[in-house]
Amino acid sequence: MTDQQWQTLLSVLDGRRLEKLPVGLIVDCPSLPGWAGISILDYLTDDRCWLQANLQAVQRFPEVIFLPGFWAEYGMCTEPSAFGCRCVWPENDFPFARKMLHDYADIDKLTKPDCRTEGICPFALKRLAHCRDEIEQAGHRIRFAASRGPMNIATYLLGHTETLIGVKTNPREIHRLMEVVTEFVVDWLRLQAESFPSIDGMLVLDDLIGFLGEKDFQQFAVPYFRQIADSLDVRVKALHNDCHGMITARHLQRMGFNLFNFSFEHGLTEIRRAAGESVTLLGNIPPRDVLARGTPEDVRRSVAEALDPLEDTRRIILSVGGGTPPEVPAANIEALCAAARQ
Q: How confident is the model at residue 342 (pLDDT cuts 50, 70, 90)?
A: confident
pLDDT reading at 340 higher than 90: yes
**Bridge partners for 318 per DSSP:** 23, 283
Averaged pLDDT, 272-294: 96
pLDDT average, residue stretch 262-282 = 96
Task: Band the pLDDT of 205: cuts 50, 70, 90.
Answer: very high
pLDDT at 308 over 90: yes
DSSP tag of 288: I
Look at residue 339 and tell me whether its pLDDT is greater than 90: yes
Report whether 157 contacts 185 (CB < 8 A): no
Determine whether 63 is exposed, middle or buried from the number of CB atoms within 10 Å of its CB (0-12, 13-18, 19+). Answer: middle
Q: What is the mean pLDDT of residues 72-93?
A: 96
Is the pTM higher than 0.75? yes
Q: What pLDDT was estimated at residue 30?
A: 87
Whether the pLDDT of residue 280 is over 90: the answer is: yes
Average pLDDT over residues 318-324: 94
Compute the mean pLDDT over every residue in the chain, rounded to the nearest whole number: 96
Most distant CA atoms of the chain, gap in Å: 57
SS (HEC) of 187-200 = HHHHHHHHHCCCCC
Q: Would you call 89 exposed, middle or buried from its count of C-beta atoms within 10 A (0-12, 13-18, 19+)? A: middle
Which pLDDT does position 76 carry in this prediction? 93
Rg (CA), the chain: 19
Domains of the chain: 3-341 (3.20.20.210)
pLDDT band, residue 310 (cuts 50/70/90): very high
The kind and range of the H/E element at 320 are strand 316-320
Residue 335 has pLDDT above 90, yes or no: yes
pLDDT at 327: 87
138 pLDDT exceeds 90?
Answer: yes
Identity of the residue numbered 341: R
Confidence (pLDDT) at 252: 97
Average pLDDT over residues 110-116: 98
